[in-house]
Amino acid sequence: MRRSAALSKFFSLAANHGRALRSNDLSPRRRGAARSQAVQDWLARSGPSLHRVLRALKLAWLMFTVVLKRRLAYRGDLLIQALDELLRGLVAFALLQVYVSKSQDLAGWNRDQLLFVLGFSLVPISFFHCLCGNLYQLSSRYIINGELDRILLRPYPSYLQICFDRLAIEDLSGAVFGFTLMAIAAARLPGFDWSPLNLGLLALMLASAFGVVVAVFMAFASTGFWFEDRVGMVPPVYNLMEFGRWPVDIYHRLVRLLITCAIPFGFVAFFPASLFVGGRAGDVASPWWQHPGVWTPVVAAVALVVAMSLWRLGIRRYNSAGN
């Protein structure tokens, strides 16, 4: 009720401003100022929460553009590092070719299905490296060296500040390679659905997989507030992400439990990607709502809530550097 009342006030204010503009025949600059004032009046009436969210998004965009300009100042270095991320994807692609060369399928999944899953996995990981890769330095640079102090002095979310301290836009080359592999595999798969609805669902699953990656590494990076170590828990956990690229049926039951429930890397690639490529050869087709991949957005939401809670607890425990 309160939001609907705020919306009605906003539209009435906009209508009044429009009548005033038509009657007074203001200049385009003054018309823009009047419209901006109408939006500000609506934001003031809609409550402080929405205003804080929009302010945080605006500051995030400004920080992103500043760091982006700084990274683009050295384009040769940027190109070399982009090739490094591309080589990682090529190595994963080469390993897949080695595996499928020994057999036509892997646990019932054929070459094109596995290629789609591999391409899917490269996209959220590349976006994580680009936007949140600075988490690798949380323990050594921010906690032990005390640089977290300047972060906490600013009235802005500490996690976003740390992420935007360094943006690795060169790692987006891995996402481009991943999209390319997905397109090639989808063109080969019989009956792949190219409808806008299915592509929108694919975008949702990619965003949810990215949320799972962010949540996992945020949670394990937060352990640096309790166990002060320059390496931290992030690099060892990163090595487990490779398990999420392959069919879970090839692993031991305990490993399947690990990458599904404890550290949900299975929802980063295999589960959501297999939703679009069909099932294993010989399996009876089941309804889409019984597929574990449909739970990827829910897993991402729950994991993000848990990770943000651990992050807040760690921030409260932080005592700065020194003695």
**55-81 residue pLDDT tens:** 777 777 787 787 778 777 777 777 887
User: Among 163, 203, 130, which residue's Cα sits nearest to residue 56?
Assistant: 163
Which pair of structure tokens corresponds to residue 66? 């500043």
Show the low-confidence residues of the chain (pLDDT under 50): 1-4, 6-7, 10-11, 13-14, 20-26, 281-282, 284
Which pair of structure tokens corresponds to residue 96? 């897949």
In whole angstroms, what is the distance from residue 226 CA to residue 219 CA? 12
In whole angstroms, what is the distance from residue 164 CA to residue 61 CA? 10
pLDDT at 38: 59
- DSSP notation for 3-55: HHHHHHHHHHHHHHHHHHHHHHT--HHHHHHHHHHHHHHHHHHS-HHHHHHHH
pLDDT at 22: 47
105 DSSP β-pair partners: 110
Handedness of CA 306, 307, 311, 317 (dihedral sign): positive
What type of residue sits at position 35? R
pLDDT at 37: 62
pLDDT at 70: 78
Indicate whether this model's pTM tops 0.75.
yes
CA distances from residue 308 to 52, 57, 316 in whole angstroms, order as listed: 18, 18, 12
* DSSP helix/strand/coil, 275: coil
Is residue 180 within 8 A of residue 77, CB to CB? The reply is no
Which pair of structure tokens corresponds to residue 262? 């404890």
Chain center to CA of 177: 17
How many other CB atoms are found less than 10 A from the CB of residue 166? 17
In whole angstroms, what is the distance from residue 169 CA to residue 316 CA? 31
278: left (phi over 0), alpha (psi -120 to 50) or beta: left
Q: Which residues of 35-47 are buried (b: 16+ CB within 10 A; e: fewer)?
A: eeebeeebbeebe
Is residue 237 within 8 A of residue 217, CB to CB? The reply is yes
Please report how the helices 28-45 and 48-72 are oriented relative to each other, as an axis angle in degrees rounded to 10: 120
